[in-house]
Amino acid sequence: MTTIETSTPLAVESSSPPVRPSASPGRVAFRQFLRSPSGVCGACLLILIVLGTAIGPVVYPVDPLDLVGGPFTAPSADAWLGTDYLGRDVLAGLIYGGRASLAVGAVAALITIAIGLTVGALSGFFGGAIDAALVKITEFFQILPPLLFAMVLVTLFGQKLTTITLAIGAVSWTSAARLTRAEFMRLRNLDFVKASRAAGAGDAYLILRVLLPNALPPVIVSATLAIGVAILFEGGLSFLGLGDPNTMSWGLMLGQNRNYVLDAWWAVIFPGAAIFLAVLSISLVGDGVNDAINPRLRRRM
Amino acid sequence: MSTLLKVENLSVGMRGSTGVVVPVLENLSFAVEAGRTMALVGESGCGKSMTALAIMRLLPEDFVVTSGRILLEGEDILSASPKRMRSLRGNGISMIFQEPMTALNPLFTVGDQIGEVLRWHSGVGLAEAEQQAIALLRAVQIPAPEQRVKAYPHQLSGGMRQRVMIAMALAGRPKLLIADEPTTALDVTVQAQIFDLLADLQKETKTAIVLITHDLGAVAELADDISVLYAGRCIESGDADSVVSHPCHPYTRGLLDCVPQLKLGPRPPQAWSDLAEIAGMVPPLGARGPDCAFLARCREASELCRSRLQPALEPITDDHAVSCWRKSELAA
Ligand SMILES: Nc1ncnc2c1ncn2[C@@H]1O[C@H](COP(=O)(O)OP(=O)(O)OP(=O)(O)O)[C@@H](O)[C@H]1O
Ligand code: SF4
Ligand SMILES: [Mg+2]
């Protein structure tokens, strides 16, 4: 139905590269990620850890809360990684506790990013009074010491895994919000945003389709890292005795056995190592994501 | 000819950090006839882009319209609601930007971006939008549009992207297209192609064009009318042939003197920005006095000019107006 038709085609400059179908930004970034050694190592390690917690019970069907033997049994054929101060199986604890720790990490990171993106996007897009108010709120949350604040929340609302997850999300979204706000402010003045507006784009389209996707790269990197931070956080809370006593997690194992580290190193070292490896693998993945996204950013700008 | 856009005594100011409003545009008036091309000409910093953005109601945050009216088919768009303004953008007026490399969203295909505009303004579905996007790409003479519709901006050259921008700007079937230095970022051969394309499209669609440019060669060829801006004021305006062949304002004369080979066709923009023949610089924002803005650089300045305020833009013939105290002497 377009009536715009021009009869005489001009000689158009031939310098344009041919159209490659696989040039979508997501695929380009993924290929780049596969070229980052740290990213690939981290991803492999992380997949191993996740697989271990997923199929572990099949290979090693032991209930982590059962008392399988005497306390402080050294690693043996019966209990591969020994037992803890109550006589519970450490390996079973690692498997089931890993599920809880990783889930807390992932969900808390999601909450962190969801709050951070929303607050940062509204703040950076609308500016003015909305921005001023949201910045005040962000600053308020930022000056609270996060661990202390999370402890208060958990004490107030109960030592349950859901509360702990929400508390971690509630105390750690501020940096994602600031990051998103800064990106929105930078992007807001770019030509393609003005051009979209000039073509009649509404606020929702501008926020969701124009600004958000372009603001996402650094947020994705920080989201990856947020998972690791949340796992550490859960560990820290449990270590301080504020974990969920009814759900096995790496932090809980560490917290409950730390006083007996000289009698039974295995009950402390193994969960500690699990946390370390999980956080390490996530940081490596974050590194790889950063490598995958940033060269593209630089080329594009 | 009916008047499509009428800008009346438009003044725009920039609010500084201290709250003082510094004038950026002063008392600007011009009109654009339906289906015709008006050129806005002037040195860098004289306020051409701000004029365009004021018409789009897309001025940067610190900039405010301090007085005047902007009428699109008689409707005052300065008092239009945000909702009304959104539907006017793209459909009533649209704009193409100077820098094609950054004026497209890098994360979506050009088909997506053109299709989106089509869907806002004509409510077509996804599949139909893609077909129309291909037709538009063909109309702006992009080869193999069926494939290019799936290309990301970084896969296209500057000239191609500017064509995509033009397609996107035309997708809402605007009555007025503002082209803010559409070729400055492109090399010379491509510049000529883009100007030809604009002229061809205008013949087809009867879209009025406000062409902002440094390229007086293109102005002489394409424009029906010209407004020359200096330091945020319109100092000469009128029929393009009349202004180019009989410039009266010393500044317009200076501009034209800078392009001695005007008749040899378009010239690279560098030749423009030096303005070798006009000594001095445009007075910076906030340093503009109440007297003739060009006084400090004017070779024709007399005692009379120094003792008076900014001259009004007054007609010297039916289709030619000049803002200069000595216009009658200079026109003679
Ligand atoms: N974002 C901004 N903040 C502050 N001042 C600005 C901004 N953009 C433009 N200006 C000032 O406003 C005035 C008018 O600028 P404008 O962009 O309209 O000039 P122009 O005629 O389009 O110039 P050019 O040919 O360089 O595009 C200039 O003095 C410029 O310095
Ligand atoms: S009014 Fe005087 S100073 Fe101004 S342009 Fe005319 S001659 Fe020059
Ligand atoms: Mg400009």
pLDDT in tens, A5-55: 444 444 444 444 555 556 788 888 888 899 889 999 999 999 999 999 999
Q: Is the CB of B44 under 6 A from ligand 1?
A: yes
Helix (H/G/I), strand (E/B), else coil: B70: strand
Is A298's pLDDT higher than 70? no
Q: Does residue A248 lie in a domain region?
A: yes
Residue of A nearest to B199 (CA): A6
Q: Which atom of ligand 2 is nearest to the CA of B249?
A: 5
Q: Percentage of residues in chain B with pLDDT exceeding 90? A: 61
Pick the closest to residue A244 from A169, A155, A172 (CA basis).
A155
| Alpha helices (runs of H) in chain B, residue ranges in sequence order | 48-56, 82-88, 110-122, 126-139, 145-148, 158-171, 188-205, 216-222, 240-245, 250-257, 270-274, 303-306, 327-331
The pLDDT of residue B296: 87
Is A299's pLDDT higher than 80? no
pLDDT tens, position by position, A139-149:
999 999 999 99
Is B307's pLDDT higher than 60? yes
Q: Does residue A186 lie in a domain region?
A: yes
pLDDT tens, position by position, B139-169:
999 999 999 999 999 999 999 999 999 999 9
Nearest ligand for residue B236 CA: 2
Which residues have CB atoms below 5 A from the ion given as ligand 3? B 49
Testing ligand 2's pocket by substitution, the residue of B229, B235, B323, B324 carrying the most ligand atoms inside 8 A of its CB is B324
Asked if the C-beta of B41 comes within 8 angstroms of chain A's C-beta atoms, the answer is no
Nearest ligand for residue B46 CA: 1
Q: Does residue A250 lie in a domain region?
A: yes
List of chain B residues whose C-beta atoms are within 8 Å of the C-beta of residue A21:
150
DSSP label of B89 = B
pLDDT band at B273 (very low <50, low <70, confident <90, very high): very low
pLDDT band at B274 (very low <50, low <70, confident <90, very high): very low
Residue nearest to atom 26 of ligand 1 (CA): B44
Contact across the interface for A6 and B170, Cβ inside 8 Å: no
Which of 191-250 (A) contact B at CB < 8 A? Answer: 191-192, 194-202, 205, 209-210, 213-214
Which of 15-34 (B) contact A at CB < 8 A? Answer: none
Both tokens of A11, joined, read: 């000689």
Contact across the interface for B154 and A300, Cβ inside 8 Å: yes
The pLDDT of residue A291: 84
Nearest ligand for residue B47 CA: 1
- SS3 helix, strand, coil % of chain B, rounded to 5? 40, 25, 40
Of A1, A12, A205, the CB nearest to B143: A12
Q: Does residue A128 lie in a domain region?
A: yes
Is B190's pLDDT higher than 70? yes
Contact across the interface for A191 and B135, Cβ inside 8 Å: no
Is B130's pLDDT higher than 60? yes
Is B128's pLDDT higher than 90? yes
Output the average pLDDT for chain A: 87
- Which of B16-20, B28-32, B71-75 bottoms out in mean pLDDT, i.e. has the lowest? B16-20
Of B102, B121, B148, the CB nearest to A191: B102
Q: Distance between CA A93 and CA B210 in Å, rounded?
A: 72
Testing ligand 1's pocket by substitution, the residue of B15, B40, B50 carrying the most ligand atoms inside 8 A of its CB is B50
Torsions phi, psi for B269 (to 5 deg): -65, -25
Q: CA distances (Å), B301 to each of B274, B293, B297, in order?
A: 22, 11, 8
Burial class (CB in 10 A: 0-12, 13-18, 19+), A55: exposed
Both tokens of B45, joined, read: 């910093």
Q: Is the CB of B158 under 6 A from ligand 1?
A: no
Task: Give the number of domains in chain A.
Answer: 1
pLDDT tens, position by position, A153-203:
999 999 999 999 999 999 999 999 999 999 999 999 888 999 999 999 999
Of A20, A127, A210, the CB nearest to B155: A20
**C-alpha torsion angle, residues B249, B252, B257, B262 (rounded to 10):** -130
List of chain A residues whose C-beta atoms are within 8 Å of the C-beta of residue B139:
2, 4-6
Q: Does residue A131 lie in a domain region?
A: yes
Q: Does residue A16 lie in a domain region?
A: no
The pLDDT of residue B34: 92
Q: Does residue A256 lie in a domain region?
A: yes
The pLDDT of residue B284: 81
List of chain B residues whose C-beta atoms are within 8 Å of the C-beta of residue A12:
141-143, 159-160, 193
pLDDT tens, position by position, B293-303:
899 888 888 88
SS (HEC) of chain A: CCCCCCCCCCCCCCCCCCCCCCCCHHHHHHHHHHCCHHHHHHHHHHHHHHHHHHHHHHHCCCCCCCECCCCCCCCCCCCCCCECCCCEEHHHHHHHHHHHHHHHHHHHHHHHHHHHHHHHHHHHHHCHHHHHHHHHHHHHHHHCCHHHHHHHHHHHHCCCHHHHHHHHHHHHCHHHHHHHHHHHHHHHCCHHHHHHHHCCCCHHHHHHHHHHHHHHHHHHHHHHHHHHHHHHHHHHHHHCCCCCCCCCCHHHHHHHHHHHCCCCCHHHHHHHHHHHHHHHHHHHHHHHHHHHHHHHHHHHC
Torsions phi, psi for B166 (to 5 deg): -65, -40
Pick the closest to residue B302 from B326, B282, B278 (CA basis).
B326
Q: Does residue A88 lie in a domain region?
A: yes
Q: Is the CB of B46 under 6 A from ligand 1?
A: yes
Average pLDDT over residues A1-8: 44
Pick the closest to residue B249 from B231, B230, B267, B225 (CA basis).
B230
Is B265's pLDDT higher than 60? no
Is B76's pLDDT higher than 90? yes
Of A4, A8, A17, the CB nearest to B205: A4
Asked if the C-beta of B206 comes within 8 angstroms of chain A's C-beta atoms, the answer is no
Q: How far is the CA of B324 from the centre of ligand 2 (A)?
A: 5
Nearest ligand for residue B298 CA: 2
Of B136, B150, B159, the CB nearest to A19: B150
Q: Is the CB of B283 under 6 A from ligand 1?
A: no
Contact across the interface for B99 and A191, Cβ inside 8 Å: yes
Testing ligand 2's pocket by substitution, the residue of B298, B308, B313, B316 carrying the most ligand atoms inside 8 A of its CB is B298
Q: Distance between CA B296 and CA B196 in Å, rounded?
A: 38
* Owning domain of residue A255: 53-300
The pLDDT of residue B2: 84
CATH code, domain carrying A119:
1.10.3720.10
Of A16, A200, A205, the CB nearest to B89: A200
The pLDDT of residue A220: 87
Average pLDDT over residues B275-303: 80
Q: Which atom of ligand 2 is nearest to the CA of B300?
A: 7
Residue type at B189?
T
Contact A214, B107 (CB under 8 A): yes
Contact B284, B332 (CB under 8 A): no
pLDDT tens, position by position, A98-123:
999 999 999 999 999 999 999 999 99
Q: Distance between CA B166 and CA B211 in Å, rounded?
A: 13
- Which of A13-22, A222-231, B214-223, B275-284 bottoms out in mean pLDDT, i.e. has the lowest? A13-22
Asked if the C-beta of A124 comes within 8 angstroms of chain B's C-beta atoms, the answer is no
The pLDDT of residue B275: 44
The strand pairing partners of B69, in sequence order, are B8
Burial class (CB in 10 A: 0-12, 13-18, 19+), B204: middle
Q: Is the CB of B52 under 6 A from ligand 1?
A: no
The pLDDT of residue B285: 82
Which of 128-187 (A) contact B at CB < 8 A? Answer: none
Q: CA distances (Å), A126 to each of A129, A143, A271, B84, B89, in order?
A: 8, 24, 46, 19, 19
Q: How far is the CA of B285 from the centre of ligand 1 (A)?
A: 9
